């Protein structure tokens, strides 16, 4: 069957539910899921590990030009786990640490780092059939994407979601502290000089503050179908 494979760009601030939604949507259509935030996190993790000064743009750019990042998402084998392989090692856990989270916005603001990552992301999307989430996907990485979504939710709601996520992992933090960190990250991500977080012109805005995951997934799937995406029945039956 000659089914059309489209590209879906999902942008939005931290904690708006991008990765949860993107993974589900990718699974329904049998598309590749690409978490671009994980790529910036991998560079940040490597920079911290190698004691690189995070204001040294030249060194960070060099690091980004030589890093190998492979994203492996095999829901049939591994549930909803995304594996991030950096220079041959699985760093999926390490890149979610609080230290990486608190420093990633600074690294992601470096132009050389962004140039290297955007090229890599565009290569990953060459074949179509991708769901890519991030901050600049609809505006810079895949401006030709057939479907662009801008997901958002109130800061309070996003902080609560992160708090619950961390609690499930046994990490206890003050909700207020988390809210402050999210506000700060929002500010840095949307005020940086290069590719700041903003809604692409043709992007559809979805405020998820009072919506369930299922409601958002259903909405995005409906929109994707109107753009020509077709379900992967084999994957759906296997996974359910």
**Which residues contact ligand DC (rule: CB under 6 A)?**
14, 36-37, 40-41, 104-105, 108, 134-136, 185, 189
* C-beta of 194 vs 204, nearer to ligand DC: 194
CA 16, CA 20: separation in Å to the nearest integer? Answer: 9
DSSP state, 95? G
Using CB atoms within 10 A of its CB, is residue 240 exposed (0-12), middle (13-18) or buried (19+)? exposed
- Please state the closest distance from residue 36 (CB atom) to ligand DC, in A: 4
* C-beta of 197 vs 232, nearer to ligand DC: 197
* C-beta of 188 vs 235, nearer to ligand DC: 188
- Please state the closest distance from residue 136 (CB atom) to ligand DC, in A: 5
- Please state the closest distance from residue 53 (CB atom) to ligand DC, in A: 19
The alpha carbons of the chain give a radius of gyration, in whole angstroms, of 17
- Please state the closest distance from residue 182 (CB atom) to ligand DC, in A: 10
Q: How far is CA 109 from CA 60, 85, 120, 134, 209, in A?
A: 11, 22, 17, 13, 27
- Please state the closest distance from residue 197 (CB atom) to ligand DC, in A: 7
Torsion of CA 54, 123, 136, 227, to 10 degrees: -160
* C-beta of 13 vs 129, nearer to ligand DC: 13
For 152-192, what is the HEC assignment? ECCHHHHHHHHHHHHHHCCCCCCHHHHHHHHHHHHHHHHHC
* C-beta of 46 vs 185, nearer to ligand DC: 185
* C-beta of 6 vs 182, nearer to ligand DC: 182
Bridge-based pairing state of the strands 130-134 and 7-11 = parallel
- Please state the closest distance from residue 132 (CB atom) to ligand DC, in A: 8
- Please state the closest distance from residue 202 (CB atom) to ligand DC, in A: 18
* C-beta of 135 vs 148, nearer to ligand DC: 135
Q: How far is CA 20 from CA 131, 133, 173, 184, 185, in A?
A: 11, 10, 22, 22, 19
Using CB atoms within 10 A of its CB, is residue 58 exposed (0-12), middle (13-18) or buried (19+)? exposed
């Amino acid at each position: 069957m000659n089914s059309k494979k489209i590209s879906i760009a999902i942008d939005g601030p931290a904690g708006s539910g991008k990765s949860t939604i993107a993974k589900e949507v990718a699974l329904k259509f049998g598309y590749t899921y690409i978490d671009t935030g994980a790529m910036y996190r991998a560079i940040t993790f490597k920079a911290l590990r190698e004691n690189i000064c995070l204001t040294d743009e030249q060194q960070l750019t060099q690091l980004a030009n030589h890093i190998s990042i492979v994203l492996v998402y095999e829901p049939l084998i591994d549930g909803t786990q995304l594996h991030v392989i950096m220079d041959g090692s699985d760093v999926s856990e390490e890149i979610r640490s609080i230290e990486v989270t608190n420093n990633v916005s600074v690294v992601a603001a470096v132009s050389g780092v962004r140039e290297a990552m955007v090229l890599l992301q565009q290569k990953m999307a060459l074949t179509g059939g991708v769901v890519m989430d991030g901050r600049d996907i609809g505006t810079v990485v895949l401006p030709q994407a057939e479907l662009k979504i801008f997901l958002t939710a109130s800061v309070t709601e996003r902080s609560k979601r992160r708090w619950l996520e961390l609690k499930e992992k046994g990490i206890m933090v003050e909700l207020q502290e988390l809210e402050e960190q999210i506000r700060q990250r929002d500010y840095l991500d949307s005020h940086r000089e290069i590719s700041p977080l903003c809604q692409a012109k043709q992007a559809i805005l979805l405020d998820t503050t009072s919506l369930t995951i299922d409601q958002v997934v259903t909405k995005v799937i409906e929109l994707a179908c109107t753009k020509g995406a077709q379900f992967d029945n084999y994957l759906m039956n296997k996974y359910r």
